[in-house]
A = this chain, B = another copy of it.
């Protein structure tokens, strides 16, 4: 990420820039959006690929175009906590801090659209409303983080799992109600997102299956059988 401009990353000029469809830029009018989009470059990442690291110079602001990105923190002994999942449309990083404070890694294959922080700032001189857009995204992320504080600090393992499944379901609302979807995270990642161990995650999945609240098939396809009852557990 810190050498995103170097050739071996093979960046594409982002012509029909994805930000157009993202609330990210909802404060910009069409011509400003055009101009801003021209500053972006998209890049593809494979499953498990590192996107940026804690401590590295914060040169780029990203926007998830496709796939899911996990943002996580590490303790010295390797304990890991995922602090955010970036879905399409979500902002990645910030334009304030001099360094990244997190690790970001691709969950499955992803496409991410990057903007140089420096360019955003100079663009903002004539289009200051860009800051309000970014503020809006950041406020949203703060809300999610605090929701998760409640989950991590006060919910039981079962409640955590139920909340997580409902969160995933939220992101498939468009598809069609009660539609099955693929669980994008491995059990270990779910554990690192919920502050649990892999075994506890597995056991509670089994519980929910035996209670017929969910159904899992064909690898990792998940169907929520009884949405209301699941919600009651969350």
A187 within 8 A of B: no
Kindly provide the distance from the CB of A119 to the nearest chain B CB, expressed in whole angstroms: 15
User: What does the 1/0 interface line of A80-101 toward B look like (CB < 8 Å)?
Assistant: 1101100000000011110001
Query: Is A129's CB within 8 Å of the partner chain B?
Result: yes
Main secondary structure on A side of the interface with B: helix
Report if A149 contacts B (CB, 8 A). yes
The stretch among A131-139, A176-184, A221-229 that forms the contact with chain B is A131-139
Partner of A139, one of B84, B138, B146, B155: B138
Please count how many residues in chain A sit with their CB below 8 Å of the partner chain's CB atoms.
41
Q: Does A112 contact B (CB under 8 A)?
A: no
Q: Does A167 contact B (CB under 8 A)?
A: no
Contacts of A135 in B (CB 8 A): 95-96, 131, 134-135, 138
Interface membership of A4, Cβ < 8 A: no
Chain B neighbourhood of A71, CB < 8 A: 146
Assess the B136–A96 pair: CB atoms within 8 A: yes
Q: How far apart sit A94 and B152, CA to CA, in the bound complex (Å)?
A: 23
Please tell me if A148 contacts chain B, counting CB pairs below 8 Å: yes
Using a CB–CB cutoff of 8 Å, the interface residues on chain A facing chain B are 71, 73, 75, 79-81, 83-84, 94-97, 101-102, 124, 128-129, 131-132, 134-136, 138-143, 145-150, 152-155, 192, 194-195
Return the 10 tightest CB-CB contacts between A and B, nearest first: A153-B195, A128-B128, A152-B152, A145-B145, A83-B146, A131-B131, A96-B139, A81-B153, A135-B135, A81-B150
